[in-house]
Amino acid sequence: MVEMKFLTDRMLGRLTRWLRISGYDTVSVSELEFDEEEDEFMLRNLRDRILLTKDRELYRKSVKEGRKAILIRSDSLEGQMRELMERGVKFQIVMDRCSLCNTPLRKPSREEAMEVIEREKLSEDMLEFELWYCEKCRKLYWMGGHWKNMTRFLRKFES
């Protein structure tokens, strides 16, 4: 099976983060720099990705030009996630992409972990957790309280 990769419009920030948390390579147009008009950029670039948009006109143009696109109708995150689940997207906590910048995560060295712990004024007990590290953001991820909240949120989607 080919891995789904996405390009999201700027109206789908929370959905973008959840796709990344779930392991999907997801680029948001709001994070990119380009010279042309935004809709034209999304139509013509990154065509190996499925365009996710709330913009009906952009969706219509995408379909007309043969670009793979999904029109997201819901305004709620839960509704948006359900729409994608109906199309085969699985939401789960994978932790292999930074939720902020989409960079693949890796295990940090002790020095990298300590740098973040000191900078963020975290307890050295953090070293006892399984940690993931984003080279670009220089951010640590771990299974803490936020993880439990995300797990609880995902339970809403279980049948």
Q: Are 82 and 74 in contact (CB under 8 A)?
A: yes
pTM of the model: 0.91
**What average pLDDT is seen over the chain?**
94
pLDDT value, residue 22: 95
Helix (H, G, I), strand (E, B) or coil at 53: strand
CATH number for the domain running over 5-85: 3.40.50
Model pLDDT for residues 12-67, shown as the tens digit of each residue: 999 999 999 999 999 999 999 999 999 999 999 999 999 999 999 999 999 999 99
pLDDT value, residue 1: 44
Give the mean pLDDT of 102-121.
96
Integer Cα distance of 109 and 156 in angstroms: 36
Confidence of residue 158 (pLDDT cuts 50, 70, 90): confident
Sequence ranges of the domains in the chain: 5-85, 110-155
